[in-house]
Amino acid sequence: MIGLGGILRWAIRPLDKLWLASAAVVGTAMTAPMVVLNSMKHGRSHALSTFGLWQSCAQVPFFGRYAFAGLVHLAAPYTASVNPMLTVMTSDYAEGFILERPWLHNPFNSVHAVAMTNLGEFVSGILVTSQIEQMTLHGDFKIRGIVTGLSTTYHKK
């Protein structure tokens, strides 16, 4: 039998998705001029790179990070399942978070460990991808990479 919590959980999720999609659309509309300006200033290759898009999105308060998240969700639907948000990204550092949502909980009513692993994969993957793109843009060589391993250590709560 599904309790009230289960019913609310599945009633709230579509509203949450609608809010995120709406914020991503508004953020994209607000960020587009920044991408164009960044393209004119640094060139199209840089402006459309992961780091260039982040720089453009980060210039738009609040909605910019939703625009970047929307792009990530289109490119990586599995990552979108936890709705990660990037808050900081430099050439060698990235930081992000997920909001605690009922559908991310395990049976013990805490955030599922795999959701946290997904967040770690997202943040590290964005950083590594942007570094590879930057090396390729500024060098005469093409670097590619495939992740061959991911490990997570779980400790007691």
pLDDT of residue 47: 75
Res. 111: pLDDT tops 60: yes
Q: How confident is the model at residue 35 (pLDDT cuts 50, 70, 90)?
A: confident
N-terminal to C-terminal alpha carbon distance within the chain: 28
Rounded mean pLDDT, 24-45: 84
Tokens 């999609």 correspond to 21
Please determine, for residue 1, whether its predicted confidence score (pLDDT) is greater than 50.
no
Distance CA 79, CA 76 (A): 5
Q: Encoding tokens for residue 104? A: 């991310």
Alpha helices in 89-146 (DSSP H): 113-138
pLDDT at residue 87 above 90? yes
- Poorest-confidence range of 4-13, 98-107, 148-157? 4-13
Looking at residue 113, what DSSP letter applies?
Answer: H
Q: Which residue has the higher pLDDT, 10 or 93?
A: 93
Work out the average pLDDT over 50-70: 90
Q: Indicate the DSSP class of residue 101.
A: -
Tokens 């453009």 found at? 56
At 37 the pLDDT is 84
DSSP conformation letters of 26-88: HHHHHHHHHHHHHHHHH-HHHHTSHHHHHHHHHTSTTHHHHHHHHHHHHH-HHHHTT--EEEE
Q: What count of other Cβ atoms lies within 10 Å of the Cβ of residue 86?
A: 20
pLDDT at residue 5, as a whole number: 62
Domains of the chain: 4-138 (3.10.129)
